[in-house]
Every structure is written in structure tokens, then in C-alpha cells.
Structure 1
């Protein structure tokens, strides 16, 4: 082990030190699995021990059939000590239990430092719905190869083993996948972009793709000089307003367009004609189970729109059809925006005059300072999206009419003399605390999240107990843990919350997140419900 500064190491010494630290990291991962197993043993629970009080703790099975049950709230304290949410901790404990009770060969490989712990835990998750007998088949097939193949190959081998172990379940899963068609919206990334995953009938997707292309070409005809893919992205927003989309297409069709859009009619190739054999389907990889070595080739699917989860990242200097990395002409962009705004306004005006319906209303809650609004520079926060730069505000709101709400002064203490929480208080709490206030909580404070009375409400107590400073947003599980799980909480003078776990560990939760603030309290603390 090297104790000196790494800058003093030559290449060979640095590589040797890297290997040693990697091995130590794996050993520590193994120890965490062992700790999770012992923790589960200490919190073993059975169904007959359950308190029948509504919302009270239950006995749950986390690792799949054959695993012992544990107390439902136990994961919350374990997760807090590992700097993770209760849900993530429950998954970790369940994986450890599944390895011990359902996949003993794989666990033995992990304990002997012959298999990477995180790979073993993912196999446990993949086998969660299998019977004990089927899990044993997977255990025998893959235990010896976990670290001898790449993660992507391992995933495919595990999938094949699962199908072999339970053919009926595999068929049922296949039928379930056919019922999973839908349009799914992903979380925003660090730059304010959202992803859309569409799983629909092939013909519908082909026609949608053709319409997106048509609008992208229409934008080009109207003066948009950005790349094809950027215009296609803009087309999604235009399609959200059918009246506007029809007007854009109509305006573009009246101009001289050199390159007409692709025809929308599907061909035999689109539905699996002779060329289909040249383009086998590729399952999108899951995060953490893939590596770049297995993704050297471009996605071979038929569509010109590659699966964003399956496509290798291009560098700026790689060739790209219809790509333009040059700095956009800002004057031209402003002119195009003005033209599109005029097209949209005229389209809806014509629709209303002819007795048509007005467009649907969309609520976008944007929080920004007066300085950002006046200067057009700075950072703003959008509920459900996160931080965005001020320059993105225009594309977020679009060209339609919008309503600006008055500023709410969060320093004002608003209260009512009742247990029920009115919307005006609920909104203030949501604005003050965008994320739930349980240690390492992950749930966003929506308008439907539970608001817990930090100091329990007393029907015979003083007026004004339901107020904006005595309420904390908690998702339902966290609320139940606080009420029935022997956790306690108090509001500090600076507005932060101090939580005490059943075994005396304390955590501070404020606008910066969660921090453990001491080792142990003098004694255990009892919780109270809100």
C-alpha cells in the first residue's frame, strides 16, 4: 500500500496502487453486503407481529420468494447511515438477502472476492420475480462467469438463464411487454433537456416520425438554419399544438421547398420486409450493466432516429449528416422566432373566429429573480425540471400567451385554526421546500405530497398550529416512519430540521441536503406522530 502523495509515483507504481485500491474497494463492498445481512437478521419480523393500527409498520419480504421478512421501517435508518434513501436501502438489503437465500453460489464467489459485488446484486434484482427453484438454476449457470465476461454479455447470459429456468414466466413477461406501450417522460438532465420514450405500434411510430420530419423541413423553409436533429427536436414542441403545427406546414407548403419531406406512407421494409434481416433489433442497455467496449458500432435499427440509450456518443469532429456546429445567427434566430409567433397567433385567432376550441392550458411554474427577468441572464428554477439558464426561458414558455403569477413572500407566516391544510399554505411549503424533508429524501414536493405537522396537532391546543413553519413535506412512507417508526424531528432556529433515528443518530436536513451531525445521542429518542 502506498501512503505517499500519488504525484510521487511513477506509472508502474501508480497502476499497482490503483489495483490495490480497487481490491480494497471490492472488499469494502463485500463488507457492506455482510452488514446488510446482519442488519436484516436483527430486524427479522413476521406477519403475526404486525400492529393493526392504520399506517403502522408491516413485515415485508424484499429479496424474493424464500427470503425472510423484515420490519418495513428498518431500511430508513440503514439508508440514512449509508447516505441513501430508504427505497435504495431497501433494495440493497433485498439484494443481499436474495444472494444468501436464493443465489448461494454467487454469494460464495462474492465472499471469496471472485465476483464483483455490484454485478452480483444486479443479478439478484434480475431474478427477483423467479421462484426459488428457477433462481437456483440461474445461480448454477452464471456463478462462475460473473467476472470473466463483459457486463453486457453477462446481462444477456443472465436473461437466457432466466428464460430457461422459467419458460412460462418468460412468455408471460413477453406478453406483458406488449401491454407496456405508452409515452414516457424522463427526468431533466443538467441542461434542462427532457427525454421522451415512445413505445407504440410500428405504423404509428413511422407516421409520427414522418410528421416530425415534415415539420423539421418546414422550419428549414421558414428560415431555420439549425441542424436536422435540432429542427426535429423543435418539431416535437410544435406538434404539441395541432393548430400551430398545421399552420406551420401550411405556411411552408406555400413556399418553394427544394427538398420535400419524406412520404408518411409506410413501406414493406418498415414492417419487416426482406431488408429486415440486415437490421436486427437491439435491446437498449440498462445503466450500470453496459460498457463502452460492447457499443463500438452504431445502432443498426431501421429508424433514422436512433435509440438514445443505445447510440455511441459522437465527438464534435465526427461527420454528421446535416449538422452545423457553427455559431447561430442571433438576428436570424430572433426573426424566425417572431415569424413563428405570428403564425401561431394567427392560427389560433382564425380557429376562434371559426368557432373552434381554444388550445389547452399548460402550467409551467418558473422561479426567478427580478434581476434575471430584467437582464435575461442568470439561473432560474422550473418545477419538475430543475435549474435552467435564463436563455432557455423563451423556448420553455413558447410563443403563446402566458400568465405571470404575483410573487409570494415566503417570509410571511400563514396559519389556520384547523388540522386541514389549505392550498395557500400548501403552496408556500412547496415553494420553501422543493424536496421532501426526511433524511436523504428523494421525492419532489408536489401538490399532492403529505404535509406533516412537525409539532403534532393538538385539537385542544392554541390557534394557528397549522402554519407554514410547522409543516414538512414527506412522502407517504417517510410520513409513516416518522409517525410509527420511533423517529423524532424538531425545527431549529435557522429553519432546518433535526431528525433523530430510533438508535439515537441525528441528521440535519436543510436546503443544502442531509448531514449527519453527531455520532450518538445520549439515549434513544421516541417519535411522535403528526
Structure 2
């Protein structure tokens, strides 16, 4: 332990930060283990004890907290543990329910988090997400999440979400049907004092909440985005004035939809082609405008029988039942199916720019930013990554420098760090595997399965497998 942080070297501070993460995770696991040990001591039926006060008079009883297959615990025994944990007994119950689920229903995940591979809050959330599954259904969640524990929290939760739906598609279908009955639009009124309260700050603005059918919500979003883009393009911006953000233009477009005549007049004025405007056509045929196009990337898998599984992953949306995907696609009159992209293929070119097909394959392989411990998912951020050459492009170098073998997708901030902070190193071991070194000697292996800490010796060992030229990937 460093006694005086002001005297520490950069390397010592980094090592201490790493040690702190490991110790914190271990301590949080220890708290769950203490809860489980306490529950084990109080798993017997208190009503079987001599002189027990009957339940009808307020006496202790066994209760179930976790999902199917977890043991019961004496309810009043948790009160004293809550005092020891400095929290309300309901918080203690919730933590024990998660711990029960992890130990008894998600054993592979529990083993991984005990090994320090993941933040405890992430797996606790997985336990809550999957609590309605029975002890047999939850096995596919356990297997998939355990294999993904080195990935970012958002990826782990996305995988867990998909597997919970896959494990019980009938229950998810019921959720969808119930939500269809709970749709609505709300215009809440400002509370007294909110005009001047900094916490609420509703002065001059209103709020709208809407719950729509998913396909309708996407269609509404596209309409607002298109109208906002048109308003921004044809706005009269005074010279030297700062242009409005697209968020503000979307608000203007949303408000403008309250007056359809104004929308039609605006689009008529900016439309160079005489005749019916696009919005008029959309009004006549709102859900089947063949001129509206959108690329939807759907990932599907086959089950053991060779048929399509019940769940597909839709880029930018997440896991959806196949029936939901059909509904989304059903909003388009014309659908063109593109060929399946083979992520096992690759090619290289002699120019500097990465070809579109190479970028597409790289983004599908990696899903997100490949900087160590990055959490950004390209489909969620809406912004295309920077496709950086892993080994810097040399215009006087050998042919085939650009391709699947030499492509590191990064968000702009991480790209700037790699480029402008001396000491970062990165080597590519394959189309979906990189090793990184930091300026002060931290080393990481990054794959499509997440980030793993490695030693300097392991880094040097991996470096022998680094791809330098396009061998094996040239078209």
C-alpha cells in the first residue's frame, strides 16, 4: 500500500488502482457470501422450534426470496443482518435473493464473479432479470452470461436479455401483448414551484411522454428526424450566429407536427418538384411508403432442429422475437434481402481508405470500440467509428496494408488517445483480436469476447503472432 500518494510514481498509482478494483470486487463478493452463510444458519423452519410463536400471531416463518430452486430462509433472522449491513431489511432481502439466484441458479456466473471477472452489480442485475425463469430454463442464461463475463456491462446485460427471452418466448410474448394494452400519450402539468426550482426547471418548456407500438415509434422518429433535417437545411441563420443543435431542430419538428397544414406548406415551399409532396403521400399511405428505405441488420441463429430460433438480434434495437421482427419489416411495402456477410472472409487493398465492406465486417465482428475496457456499442451510439490502421499506413510500404487484418475500430476519443498520447501500442492478432500496451506498462488482450488483463511477458508472447502484412487475408 502506498503511504503517501503524492510521492507515488505513475506506475505505482496505476497498479494501486488495479489492486483497488480487484479488492473491491472481492469485498463485494464477500458480502454476498456472508449473507449466504447467515441464510444457511437460518434455513430451518422456525415454527418447528419448541415454544415458537405461531405465524398468525406474528411469529417467524420461512420465506422464499430467490427464483425457482433456491432455498427458504427465516424472515425475522434477516433483521439483525440488515442492522449489521447498515441498511433497511428490504435491501438485505434483495441482496440475499440475488445471492441465492447466483449460487443455486447461475453457478457458472457465480464462479466467474467470485474469480473477479466482472462487477458484482452486473451479475446481480442478471439474477433479477432471469428470476421468473424456472430452474431448467435458466441454464442457457447461465452458460451464455458466464462466457461473456469479460465483456462490458452493456454487452453482458444485452446477452442476458436475449437469453431470458429465448428461454421463455411465451412469457415474453405475453409481456409484449400486455404492453400493447398500456399504450398512451401523456402531457404532465407543471408542479407548483417548478418554474423557479433548479431541480425541475420547467420554465418555458413542456414535457411529453408516449408509449407506442415499437414500429410506430420508429416511424415517428424517422418522420421527426427527416423534418428536423429539412428545417435545419433551410433555416435562415444570421451570419456569425451559432447554428442550432439537431436536438433543438427535432424539438421544433415535433412541435410543428401539431399543425399538419404548416408542415405541408413548409415542405411544399422547399420542394422544387411540383405536385404532391412527400408528406402528403405519407399521409395517404402512412405505413407503406415504398420510397422510405432503411437498413435493418438482423442476426438469427438455428436451433438444434435446424429451424430458426425464436429470438433474433436487431442492430440498434436489441433482442426481439421473430414475430416482432416480422411486424417491423411488415411496415415496408418492398423488402430487399442482402446476402449473408461471411465474417470468416477478408481482403486487402493498396489504398489508404478502408473499403466499405471491410468496415462493415469489422463492425459486425467487434460490435463495439476495441480500446481496452471500452463500453461503446456502435449501433447504440449512432456514430460510425474511426477505422484506424493498427499498423500505421506507409505510402512507401508494401501492398495490401489496408484490410480486415489491419483495422482497429475506435471511438473518436480513444482514437485521439492512441494517436496523440506517446506510449500507446497496439498489435493485431487477427480480424477480431488485439493486444494493447499503455504508456506506463499496463497490458490488455481485447477480443470480441471482451478485455483481459495480461502481463508484459504474455504481451511479448502474443506479439509474435501479430499480423504485419495482409498474408492470408488478401482477396
State the TM-score, normalized to the length of structure 2.
0.45
TM-score by length of 1: 0.41
